[in-house]
Amino acid sequence: THDIDKDSFRILTSESVLPEISSNVALQLLEHESNTDEGILDSSEPTTLQQRCVKALGESNWTGKENDVDNMRGKLVNITSPATLEALLIDSVSGERAIVNKMEELKVDLMKEKKALEQERELFEYHQEQSRLEVEREKQKQSQLRQELEEMRKQCENFQLKLKATETKAEKDKEELRKANALLEAELEEEKKKTYALRQRFREVESEQHKLKSDSENYKLTIQETIKRIEAITTYDEPFGGCGLGQFVLLISSMSDRKECVQIKSMLQKVIKDPQTYERDILLKMKTNDDATCNESLLSLTSAEFTR
């Protein structure tokens, strides 16, 4: 048997292999390889089935000493015909090459998919980085908001303390105002009472003034009437004073009585002009009498002492 080189798929159509297989198979393999892009299958290795097919075809075509094969059970040359081996070999090579071409297409598609996935991965990483930055910004915002909230909470606590202090001060001020109001109300009641008393007193004084005015007018009229009568009495031209008081004229017909009437008339005329004149004259007269009495008492005491 000939050892089959596995380095390249082209070994199936090499000079060392072609004599071992039929010319029909060799021509089909050459035709199939001519329709394939050169070098696309250089790295492929023949499969075990292909190797066995080539070996079986070589055993069936040659009977030389070098190709003697023990007719052992299970040999392809014993269980199938050369035509089947040829078809099997050609179909295996064609199918494998079709699969390889499909694999190359899939490889290209896979590269495209990998490129697309790489782009998607880069886009994902970009979005992930943007999301991370956004998360960091949100964290910073939240941290800033927490700080602002803490500041607001502290300010609120300060405001509450100030409000509580203000309410306490307001309660104290209210209490002081209530006390002051109570005192003012008491003073107001007292002033009302005083005002009422003053009004009552004013009414009484007003009533007394009206009464005094009326009495003064009556007193003035009486004095004027008395003056007229005194004038009638003291007038010599009118017999008996012209007033029908004959007996009274007889009683005061003396000079002393006339003098006293003149004094009374003068006093009454002064009283008409100034009502307080009479009171002043009375007080002055009382003082003069008191001084005279005092002098008499001193003289009597002095005489008594001298007599002793």
Give 261-264 contacts, CB < 8 A, sequence gap 24+.
261/230, 261/233, 261/234, 262/234, 264/226, 264/230
Contact 52, 89 (CB under 8 A): no
- Name the residue among 241, 239, 240, 231 with its Cα closest to residue 265: 231
For 129, the token pair is 């980085």
Residue 130 has what pLDDT? 92
Q: Residue 270 and residue 263: Cα distance in Å, rounded?
A: 11
Q: What is the pLDDT of residues 250-283, one digit of tens each?
A: 555 555 556 666 777 676 677 666 666 655 665 5
List of residues 6+ apart from 224 with CB closer than 8 A: 272
Is residue 35 predicted with pLDDT exceeding 80? Answer: no
In this predicted model, which residue has the larger pLDDT, 46 or 184? Answer: 184
Query: If you average pLDDT over residues 241-254, what whole number do you get?
Result: 51
Burial (CB < 10 A; 0-12, 13-18, 19+), residue 25, is buried
State whether residue 73 is helix, strand or coil. Answer: coil
Q: Residue 231 and residue 100: Cα distance in Å, rounded?
A: 178
How does the average pLDDT of the chain come out, rounded? Answer: 69
Residue 8 has what pLDDT? 38
Query: If you average pLDDT over residues 117-137, what whole number do you get?
Result: 91
Q: Would you say the C-alpha torsion 119, 120, 122, 127 has a positive or negative sign?
A: positive
In this predicted model, which residue has the larger pLDDT, 163 or 55? Answer: 163
In this predicted model, which residue has the larger pLDDT, 165 or 307? Answer: 165
Contact 246, 240 (CB under 8 A): yes
Residue 257 has what pLDDT? 58
In this predicted model, which residue has the larger pLDDT, 24 or 96? Answer: 96
Q: What is the pTM of this model?
A: 0.30
Q: What is the pLDDT of residues 182-231, one digit of tens each?
A: 999 999 999 998 888 888 888 888 888 887 777 777 677 677 777 776 77
Q: CA triplet 262, 264, 266: central angle to 5 degrees? A: 70
